[in-house]
Chain A
């Protein structure tokens, strides 16, 4: 299936990140079932990592919700842009919307069918959930000293996302904008300014809105 082959490299790249989540949660005394449920119901990547220390500190539900929703606020505009390729039935639509991830979004195309979209999202989702539990099993099986290494396991996922994002940008800017390189630099500088000003949690919405306005003013035609 072409869509499965398209998403497979990204799905493989997120394995170490999800395994790291499994390892950390296991060390924080989460059970396999809790890790499985957190992956299945709370499939948010960065949000899962952010809530780990808060769960340990028994923080309140609202505190956790505000932090997690702020980190993941980028999905709000993303979800709007993908409504056309979702199933029509209520529960299937809800489920496929729930399993939207960054890597899946960066792999999907506007021309993808519902079936291709489901295949891409489900592959990433299954790899993420299963790898988390496998990570916890590995944490149980190997000595603690082996786990206290300085290797940055999350880096491959960042590399995949950069590659997919650059490819998408290159494909989408073609023919629509004047002086594309200058425009991309202006947008990156704007995003950087918001990141430095508001921090990594709160920069998403203003960052996306301002960059979208810059892009809108930069286009050649309607």
Chain B
């Protein structure tokens, strides 16, 4: 095994231990108010930042197709039309078509 690859795998594994395993390993006793906050507010904050991250990352690759197709997906999800499959299909088809047209 190449040394750089082994180091990368260890770094990935330690990252997982730090950010995913460590927070759940100990039975932290949080106040009831904080638990409610972590269940209601924190996930919402994460999902809103997911949206920002995905839109801005994809717009760096291809601005107009990404904005339009992710916008279509978001609207379909918001209106609850056709479920995940339709939303993903609508987003992907519009993205690849627009990419081909604008290329």
Query: A: which residues have CB within 8 A of B?
Result: 9-10, 13, 29-31, 33-34, 37-38, 41-44, 47-48, 51-52, 54-61, 64-65, 68-69, 72-83, 86, 93-94, 97-98, 100, 102, 105-106, 110, 150-152, 155-156, 158-170, 172-173, 176, 184, 187-188, 191-192, 195-196, 200, 203-204, 207-209, 211-212, 215-216, 219, 222
Contacts and interface: CB of A to CB of B under 8 A. Distances in A.
B64 interface: no
Contact of A162 (B17, B61, B73): B73
A66 to B, nearest CB: 9
B19 A184 contact: no
Given A68-B11, A159-B70, A98 B21 contact: yes
Given A80-B23, A191-B52, A159 B88 contact: yes
25 contacts: A30-B2, A41-B9, A42-B8, A47-B15, A55-B7, A56-B4, A68-B11, A73-B19, A74-B46, A77-B38, A81-B43, A98-B17, A152-B95, A158-B58, A159-B88, A159-B91, A162-B55, A162-B74, A163-B84, A164-B84, A169-B47, A176-B40, A203-B53, A207-B49, A208-B46
